A and B are shown apart, each in its own frame.
Chain A
Amino acid sequence: MIESGSSVVRFDRVQKSYDGETLVIKDLNLEIEAGEFLTMLGPSGSGKTTCLMMLAGFEPATHGEIYLNGRPINNVAPHRRDIGMVFQNYALFPHMTVAENLAFPLQVRRLSRADVQARVERVLHMVRLSGFGSRRPAQLSGGQQQRVAVARALVFEPALILMDEPLGALDKNLREEMQYEIKHIHETLGVTVIYVTHDQTEALTMSSRIAVFNDGVIQQLAAPSVLYEEPENCFVAQFIGENNRLQGTVESVDGAFCRVALDDGERVRALNVNVDGEREPTTLSLRPERVAIDPKGEAADNVVSGRVEELIYLGDHIRARLTVAGNDAFIVKVPNAQGHASLREGARVRLGWAAEDCRALDAPGTGSAPG
Chain B
Amino acid sequence: MSTTTDRVMRTADGLPLKLSLQKALARSRLRAALLVLPLLGFLVVAFLLPIGDMLFRSVDNRIVGSILPRTALAIQGWDADGTELPGEAVFEALVRDMQAAAKERTLGRAARRLNYEKPGMSSLFRKSGRRAKRITGPSWRDRLIGIDKRWADINVWRLIHRESGALTGSYFLSAVDLSLNDRAELVRQPEPRRIYLTLFGRTVWMSGLITVLCLLLAYPVAYLLATQPLRVSNLLMILVLLPFWTSLLVRTTSWIALLQTEGVLNDLLVFAGLISEDGRLQMIHNKFGTFVAMVHILLPFMILPLYSVMKTIPPSLMRAARSLGATPFTAFVRVYMPNTVSGVGAGCIMVFILSIGYYITPALVGGRTGTFISNFIAIHVSETLNWGLAAALGVLLLGLVLALYLLYDRIVGIDNMKLG
A contact set with B: CB distance below 8 Å: 56-58, 77-79, 81-85, 87-89, 91-95, 104-105, 108-109, 152-153, 156, 162
Of the candidates A83, A92, A95, which one forms a contact with B323 in the assembled complex, judged by CB atoms under 8 Å apart?
A: A83
Number of interface residues of B (CB under 8 A): 20
Q: Would you list 7 pairs from A and B whose C-beta atoms are within 8 A, ordered by A residue? A: A79-B328, A81-B323, A93-B321, A95-B339, A95-B341, A104-B334, A108-B330
Contacts of A109 in B (CB 8 A): 325
Contacts of A156 in B (CB 8 A): 324-325
Q: Is there contact, CB below 8 Å, between A79 and B334?
A: no
B397 CB–A CB distance under 8 Å: no
Q: Is there contact, CB below 8 Å, between A108 and B314?
A: no
Given A83-B323, A105-B324, does the pair A88, B316 have CB atoms closer than 8 Å?
A: yes
Q: Is there contact, CB below 8 Å, between A95 and B338?
A: yes
Tell me the smallest distance from the CB of B174 to a CB of chain A, in Å: 47
Contacts of B268 in A (CB 8 A): none
Question: Does more than half of chain A's interface fall in helix, strand or loop, or is it mixed?
Answer: loop
B396 CB–A CB distance under 8 Å: no
B181 CB–A CB distance under 8 Å: no
B335 CB–A CB distance under 8 Å: yes
Given A56-B319, A78-B319, A91-B319, does the pair A108, B324 have CB atoms closer than 8 Å?
A: yes
Of the candidates A58, A91, A94, A105, which one forms a contact with B325 in the assembled complex, judged by CB atoms under 8 Å apart?
A: A105
Contacts of A94 in B (CB 8 A): 339
Measured CB to CB, the nearest residue on chain B to A83 is B323
Chain B 311-349 interface residues, beta-carbon cutoff 8 Å to A = 314, 316-317, 319-328, 330-331, 334-335, 338-339, 341
Chain A CB within 10 Å, residue with most, of B320, B334, B338, B339: B320
Given A94-B339, A95-B338, does the pair A85, B323 have CB atoms closer than 8 Å?
A: yes
Give CA–CA (A215, B325) in the complex, Å.
32
The 5 closest A-B pairs by CB, nearest first: A91-B320, A105-B324, A91-B316, A85-B323, A78-B322
Measured CB to CB, the nearest residue on chain B to A53 is B319
Q: Is there contact, CB below 8 Å, between A79 and B326?
A: yes
Chain B 285-326 interface residues, beta-carbon cutoff 8 Å to A = 314, 316-317, 319-326
Chain A CB within 10 Å, residue with most, of B316, B317, B325, B335: B325
B contact set with A: CB distance below 8 Å: 314, 316-317, 319-328, 330-331, 334-335, 338-339, 341
Contacts of B341 in A (CB 8 A): 95
Of the candidates B326, B327, B328, B339, which one forms a contact with A104 in the assembled complex, judged by CB atoms under 8 Å apart?
A: B326
Give CA–CA (A81, B323) in the complex, Å.
8
Given A94-B339, A108-B330, does the pair A152, B319 have CB atoms closer than 8 Å?
A: no
Measured CB to CB, the nearest residue on chain B to A94 is B339
Tell me the smallest distance from the CB of B325 to a CB of chain A, in Å: 5
Contacts of A105 in B (CB 8 A): 324-326
Give CA–CA (A89, B330) in the complex, Å.
22
Give CA–CA (A108, B101) in the complex, Å.
82
Tell me the smallest distance from the CB of B287 to a CB of chain A, in Å: 37
Given A56-B323, A79-B322, does the pair A91, B317 have CB atoms closer than 8 Å?
A: yes
Chain A CB within 10 Å, residue with most, of B317, B324, B328, B338: B324
Measured CB to CB, the nearest residue on chain B to A104 is B324
Contacts of B314 in A (CB 8 A): 89, 91
Q: Is there contact, CB below 8 Å, between A82 and B319?
A: no
Give CA–CA (A85, B338) in the complex, Å.
22
